Amino acid sequence: MLFGLTDYLPEAVLTVGDNLEFLIRILVAELFGFLIGLERSKRQKDAGIRTHCIIAVTSAVIMILSKYCFVDLIDLGIAGRNSDPGRLAAQVVSGISFLGAGVIFRDRNSSSIKGLTTAAGMWATSAVGLAIGAGLYWLGVMETAVVVISQTVLHRFPVGNDALVAQELNVRIADTPEMQKYIRQFVKSHGGHIERSDAVREGSVLELKLTVRCRQPITQDEGLDLIARNPDILRISI
């Protein structure tokens, strides 16, 4: 609770203690933004420590402004006591949407979308900053801990699509439906699927450039063995 604004008295003024409290909130928000940004930075993401620190600090300041900067107007009767203190803070979410859009992109080599987790992390960082700015320290601590721990654990022990390894395959085969099905079955046997397929036909030969995600990576030796077992596979490179 703030020293000078605890009871929102008409004569309330910002004291040194109030400003010290604001400074503590800003520094704590920056610390938590640093922790979330550090996790993203270790993954070599575009939005790293500096970006997350700025988001957390700015969100905290906006929440402080939203809660306390209109108290003097209420005292003067310019603003009513029923004014919405969350209106300014609510715009943080809109602002983060623009930043998040800047880190989301479609990989041109596949159909996958990149940057979603980083954008979500920026959104979470803004929420941490808002919580700290409102003086809800433990809420900020809990969210930071949950975000950092969950991301660290899920990177160390990936599940679902995150557990699949992305690979590029260049395959030259006879242009028949049976051979295309054979290649799909080969990828499927490695616990994977084809994300993208580009094909170029040259007479009776089909050149395939495949982007695949497999649970068990395909090795070059397996590709050579595939060529040896099937004469309709002319070349395969990984």
**Residue 5 maps to a domain:** no
pTM exceeds 0.75: no
Q: Can you say how many angstroms the Cα of residue 183 is from the centroid of all Cα atoms in its chain?
A: 34
Degrees (nearest 5) of the Cα angle 138, 144, 146?
100
What 3-state DSSP class applies to 72?
A: helix
Averages of pLDDT over each 10 residues, the chain, 238 residues: 48 70 90 87 77 88 79 54 67 79 69 75 87 86 88 78 76 84 84 81 85 81 80 81
Q: How far apart are CA 102 and CA 118, in angstroms?
A: 10
Q: How far apart are CA 92 and CA 64, in angstroms?
A: 12
Count how many domains the chain has.
2
Same domain for 113 and 184, yes or no, is no
Q: How far apart are CA 118 and CA 168, in angstroms?
A: 25
Same domain for 192 and 228, yes or no, is yes
Q: How far apart are CA 232 and CA 174, in angstroms?
A: 5
Same domain for 166 and 145, yes or no, is no
Quote the pLDDT of residue 28.
92
Task: Kindly calculate the radius of gyration of the chain based on its CA atoms and give it in whole angstroms.
Answer: 27
**Residue 86 maps to a domain:** yes
Same domain for 182 and 233, yes or no, is yes
For residue 39, give both structure tokens.
């996790």
Those residues whose C-beta lies under 8 Å from the C-beta of residue 88, and which sit 6 or more positions away, are 62, 65, 66
Quote the pLDDT of residue 81.
55
Domain boundary among 108, 140, 157: 157
Degrees (nearest 5) of the Cα angle 61, 38, 214?
130
Quote the pLDDT of residue 75.
55
Which amino acid, residue 134?
A
For residue 52, give both structure tokens.
């997350």
The parent domain of residue 202 ranges over: 162-237
Quote the pLDDT of residue 1.
45
Domain boundary among 135, 157, 179: 157
Q: Domain of 180: which CATH number?
A: 3.30.70.260
For residue 236, give both structure tokens.
């395969």
CB 233 within 8 A of CB 179: yes
